[in-house]
Amino acid sequence: MKGRISSVWVALLGVVVGVLLCMVWNRSVEMRGKKPLSVGDADWRKVNLVLESLDREYVDSIDHTKITEAAIDAALGALDPHSIYIPPVTMEGVKEELQGNFDGIGIQFNVPNDTAIVLEVIPGGPSEKIGLQPGDRILKVDDIPIAGVKYPQDSMVRHMKGPAGTKVLITVGREGDVIPFEITRGKIPMHSVDAAFMVNDTTGYLRLGKFALTTYTEVSTRSKELLALGMKRLILDLRDNTGGYFDQALLLANLFLPRKASIVYIEGLHCPREEYNANGRGIMQDIAIDLLVDEGSASSSEIVAGAIQDNDRGTLYGRRTFGKGLVQKTVDFSDGSGLRLTMARYYTPSGRCIQKPYNGKKDYEYYIYDRYADGEMLSADSIKVDSSKVFKTIGGRTVFGGGGIVPDIFVPVDTTRASAFYMACNRKATSMRFASAWFDSHRAELQQIDDFGKLKKYLDGAGLEQAFLAFASSKDGLKPASQAEWAAERKYMMTQVQALVGRYSKLGEDAFYHLYLATDNVFQAAMKE
């Protein structure tokens, strides 16, 4: 009896399997017999058909927002490195950076792999003063773990922001160390001019951090102050200035150039050539101008540098600039997101394209590291110029294309300060944390100082050297390996400490840069000329 039942079940199972196979075969034949969907090479029909097929055929329900944003990222990724999609939470931060002040801790970060990585620490902000650095991994905000737990990026921003005067504990990971930073939130300074002061009786210094909406107004105001103090020569520091508003670059270059002098022109497939020339009303046409540039000087900074160089208006010192010569326009969407789309290229007055080559996103991102590997940061002879692209300044000097602006006088990266003690202190932000602790216990006297001469006298007589070494030893377990090591490092490190403490005076960033420039080899090269 059991044998019969088993045979019956086997027969039934065979019938069922046969029916299913026939269904699958028929479906396969049906699909093979369908006429292929019509697509063209010069339209977007194929993309639309793919998305429609997902809605009609995909096995599970579709998250339209997720798929749409992934498709946008993939499409833009096939174009150039600067055509990007900006989600709503990021777009808000981008607009704040360029348009006005806000309360917070003063950092920009990204979350590429479920961990927030600090991209930029805003100069003069609370985070920069206490010692946060680009590359820091944010592990916790107060007692909330945010690393490796898929914590929403907009929630991270919300927890870090807060009213000025309130405190937040940011715990970061840095090269294997876990470092807590208690940060007092403040008004994040969004000004463009980081510092402006007279170096001597006739030379002024102005450091420009970005090209924001207020750049031209700020530079004009501070320049008039320096002119009133007797400035005959300006050293304009554009190092690490990644750019910003195009019109502000035009207005800045216009301050120095004579009437009808070319500043820049742009051109693209759908953007006919547009030329921009000086109007001859700039207030510093008779002032000697020298620019400091490096591998962090990009976009609008390169427009100004190219205009000054090609018009033989001034001298450029430092290292080859970044090479960002693509013009973007912003497309805003109703959900708060946006598109930054490349529409043209920048060309300097001599006809040089500023944009460096790009052969895929990875190669582009590691281009700076390649410069280091090739020795370009240490030797002018290692700079890879495109000798097939030769251009002439208005005075007949030869300049080359191939990406970025090569300075007139090359100044290498200073590698003489890489002692173990210096590197360890930098890794743990010992100098910055010491300066913060010193301010906490000397707030009243520091906040009364508003004159650079008085500040220098105070710092020289405050016993900072002994206090700093004691702090490094007790807080971080760090000390110089020998008296010889400290003797080699002392001038540089104590200049750094004085600058960090000095910025807590009423002079702020002016004090920091005035003191720090004493050990800045690019600035010193400009002063020697």
Within 10 angstroms of residue 323's Cβ, the number of other Cβ atoms is 24
Nearest to 185 by CA among 248, 130, 119, 236: 130
pLDDT, residue 15, reads 47
Q: pLDDT class for 6, splitting at 50, 70, 90?
A: low
- The one catalytic residue in 299, 300, 350, 436 is 299
Q: Report percent pLDDT > 90 for the chain.
A: 54
pLDDT, residue 242, reads 92
**Is-contact 356 323, C-beta < 8 A?**
yes
| Each residue's pLDDT tens digit, 243-264 | 989 999 999 999 999 999 999 9
Of 165-174, 189-198, 225-234, 376-385, the range with the lowest mean pLDDT is: 376-385
**Is-contact 122 128, C-beta < 8 A?**
yes
Q: What is the mean pLDDT of the chain?
A: 87
Region 316-343: what's the mean pLDDT?
A: 91
- CATH 2.30.42.10 boundaries in the chain: 101-188
The residue behind tokens 């950092």 is 107
- Above 60 in pLDDT, residue 29? no
More confidently predicted of 232 and 52: 232
- Above 90 in pLDDT, residue 116? no
More confidently predicted of 445 and 119: 445
pLDDT, residue 529, reads 78
Q: pLDDT class for 100, splitting at 50, 70, 90?
A: low
Q: Catalytic site residue 324?
A: yes
Contacts of residue 396, Cβ cutoff 8 Å, sequence gap at least 6: none
- Above 50 in pLDDT, residue 17? no
pLDDT, residue 363, reads 65
- The one catalytic residue in 136, 194, 294, 310 is 310
The residue behind tokens 């348009």 is 99
**Is-contact 404 356, C-beta < 8 A?**
yes
pLDDT, residue 109, reads 82
pLDDT, residue 175, reads 78
Q: pLDDT class for 38, splitting at 50, 70, 90?
A: low
Q: pLDDT class for 191, splitting at 50, 70, 90?
A: confident
Give the whole-angstrom CA distance, residue 298 versus residue 326: 10
Q: Catalytic site residue 161?
A: no
Contacts of residue 475, Cβ cutoff 8 Å, sequence gap at least 6: 430, 433
- Above 60 in pLDDT, residue 345? yes
**Is-contact 224 284, C-beta < 8 A?**
no
pLDDT, residue 101, reads 60
Region 161-181: what's the mean pLDDT?
A: 91
Region 114-131: what's the mean pLDDT?
A: 85
More confidently predicted of 24 and 396: 396
SS3 of 133-180:
CCCCEEEEECCEECCCCCCCHHHHHHHHCCCCCCEEEEEEEECCEEEE
Region 458-479: what's the mean pLDDT?
A: 96
Whether the predicted model's global pTM rises above the 0.85 cut: no
Q: pLDDT class for 95, splitting at 50, 70, 90?
A: low
- Neighbour-count burial of 366, counting CB atoms closer than 10 A to its CB (0-12 exposed, 13-18 middle, 19+ buried): exposed
- Above 90 in pLDDT, residue 432? no
**Six-digit token string for 420:** 């173990």
- Above 60 in pLDDT, residue 139? yes
Give the whole-angstrom CA distance, residue 262 versus residue 271: 19
Residues 101-188: name the CATH superfamily: PDZ domain (2.30.42.10)
Region 394-413: what's the mean pLDDT?
A: 92
Contacts of residue 439, Cβ cutoff 8 Å, sequence gap at least 6: 446, 501, 504
**Six-digit token string for 135:** 């590359």
Of 33-37, 186-190, 466-470, the range with the lowest mean pLDDT is: 33-37
Region 353-371: what's the mean pLDDT?
A: 76
- CATH 3.90.226.10 boundaries in the chain: 193-410
Please check whether the domain covering 193-410 is classified as CATH 3.90.226.10: yes
pLDDT, residue 31, reads 47
Q: pLDDT class for 158, splitting at 50, 70, 90?
A: confident
- The one catalytic residue in 210, 237, 290, 324 is 324
Helix (H, G, I), strand (E, B) or coil at 363: helix
The residue behind tokens 């004579």 is 258
- Above 80 in pLDDT, residue 379? yes
**Is-contact 217 189, C-beta < 8 A?**
no
More confidently predicted of 110 and 463: 463
Region 138-147: what's the mean pLDDT?
A: 93
| Each residue's pLDDT tens digit, 286-322 | 999 999 999 999 999 999 999 999 999 999 999 999 9
- Above 90 in pLDDT, residue 414? no
Q: At what angle do helices 508-516 and 483-502 cross, to 10 degrees?
A: 150
Give the whole-angstrom CA distance, residue 506 versus residue 460: 17
- Above 60 in pLDDT, residue 12? no
Q: Catalytic site residue 384?
A: no
